[in-house]
A and B are shown apart, each in its own frame.
Chain A
């Protein structure tokens, strides 16, 4: 309205547009958002709600609706305590050292059951732990809401992750296939003392202690003091967690390929 030709060269033809065009734009927007503005009222409704799945975008070769959570989204872990074998592989594989194996009820006193406890203050959601899990009991869900009031609340105990599991959230189905580990647990027989530690701590109970023949001592030679048993590992049951190697007091177990 007040614009003059010499001041604003673009407007000399229709100076009235300076007022009317913005008014029209705003009115159009008002009518459009009168029933529903495009704001998603987040705690009460979420982008993944079906009503927001209007438009379709193509990502990773698969049509994904706007707001839909991707299939390979890596959120809070779900842990099935019942199938967890306490193999410790998740804690081993964690690059952030945020997984601690804590005792949960259900094990026997000699053989306590340990399940992962994850500190989400450190977790980088890489998913290595769920890839490493031999039993598939630790997997990642699509839950992304992790805000808490206290730092301690960021630590998810096994029981809490079991709650997540029981809530039947969509799991992350895309799992990196575990690289075929051709290595097996091998024994260096002369060093073994037959102490049973490996068999005791094997999460899958695939190590059995078998008797070996006690050699007859030659005159003047002293037999080593040991139990005359040796571990035999059932390769098909072994999950290659390495627990036996780490518990062996004599370091007589090692990775290798059986000839």
Chain B
């Protein structure tokens, strides 16, 4: 793996830019421009810009990826004409939405109406910034990153409900209510599944969780937890079959019925950004993050930025799984979702916590052979 970290890239860019800029100015300003404070401040801005760019590009690519994949599942081709294989179609769509007027319904509450898409977008971006992509490629390594990410992840129904309430539209309101009600079905199983991972890894720090998977990826002992986590993530992202809040057949477009133009684009982008973040979480917690098993030839893991490449490959494969589910299953009812969450997923998640505890106690994996050196 290469040693280039996101911060070193940002810092180098910042010092090069400021160094070039400083030549244009006389001595006092020159000296101030190349001082450590200014360079660090600009580095932080560049850092954030890189993260923003990466998240937005990935999100738009993810939409393209889903359209193409969904097309194959439905025996058709998806976007084709703008750019190579329709690669630029979503950029064109985004440009169109950007140019459109944003209309607020007369009776809608302005503050809530404008605030909700922005907050939805910003919280999704914050989660993306928290998650490590590769060694050294993350926004910040806190001891409780995983917990923080999950907490921010579950902010979303709040903002959805806020926007739905402010829209002053019955369909929006029903969608927002459903979104809030749906939350109690999936949050508990997701957190229990995460508890199983945390028990096995012994930490809430995502970098360490990935490092703990050096001997075996956590999906092997925690397959049940993986299933629960995937299902819960589907509900968390409000994707089919759990897209009750925006059930097109009954609720027009659900909670974003009244939103158009760039505000709709915000919701759309944030939706897919959350899908991306969900896939990233699955990869980090269960599929070994940016590492590959030791039997993989070294040539595949030693090229520059190999960690990021393998991480993205895994992420897109996991997202492909979500698309597969979307292509296959019909939408279920609220009561079915609640029954699924409480009567199936919670017991399974508890079982997997028990399994994780047993694995830690025995320091051994009887299922896949003995692993003597357990971390954590």
Q: Which residues of A contact B (CB under 8 A)?
A: 1-4, 19, 22-23, 25-27, 29-30, 32-34, 37-39, 41
Q: Give 1 or 0 for each of B68-93: 1 = CB within 8 Å of chain A CB.
A: 00011111110010000000000000
Complex A-B: 30 CB contacts under 8 Å = A1-B340, A1-B344, A2-B336, A2-B337, A2-B340, A2-B344, A19-B329, A22-B329, A22-B330, A23-B324, A23-B325, A26-B73, A26-B327, A27-B324, A29-B74, A29-B75, A30-B72, A30-B73, A30-B324, A30-B327, A32-B75, A33-B72, A33-B73, A37-B72, A37-B75, A37-B76, A38-B75, A38-B76, A39-B76, A41-B77
In Å, the complex CA distance between A41 and B327 comes to 22
B80 to A41, Cβ gap below 8 A?
Answer: yes
In Å, the complex CA distance between A23 and B336 comes to 19
B328 to A26, Cβ gap below 8 A?
Answer: yes
**Complex contacts, B77 vs chain A, CB 8 Å:** 37, 39, 41
**Complex contacts, A38 vs chain B, CB 8 Å:** 75-76
Q: Give 1 or 0 for each of B310-340: 1 = CB within 8 Å of chain A CB.
A: 0000000000000011011110100011011
Most buried by A among B75, B76, B80, B330: B75
How many A-B pairs have beta carbons closer than 8 Å: the answer is: 50
Main secondary structure of the interface of B (DSSP, over half): helix
**Complex contacts, A33 vs chain B, CB 8 Å:** 72-73, 75-76
Known: A1-B340, A39-B77. A34 touches B328 (CB 8 A): no
Known: A2-B332, A2-B339, A19-B329. A26 touches B71 (CB 8 A): no
Q: How far is the CB of A29 from chain B (nearest CB, A)?
A: 6
A39 to B325, Cβ gap below 8 A?
Answer: no
Q: Give 1 or 0 for each of B53-77: 1 = CB within 8 Å of chain A CB.
A: 0000000000000000001111111
Among candidates B73, B325, B332, B336, residue contacting A29 with C-beta atoms closer than 8 Å: B73
Name the CB-closest residue of B to A19.
B329
In Å, the complex CA distance between A2 and B329 comes to 13
In Å, the complex CA distance between A3 and B337 comes to 10
Q: How far is the CB of A41 from chain B (nearest CB, A)?
A: 7
Nearest 7 pairs between A and B by C-beta? A22-B328, A26-B328, A2-B336, A2-B340, A33-B75, A23-B328, A26-B327
Name the CB-closest residue of B to A25.
B328
In Å, the complex CA distance between A38 and B76 comes to 7
**Complex contacts, A41 vs chain B, CB 8 Å:** 77, 80
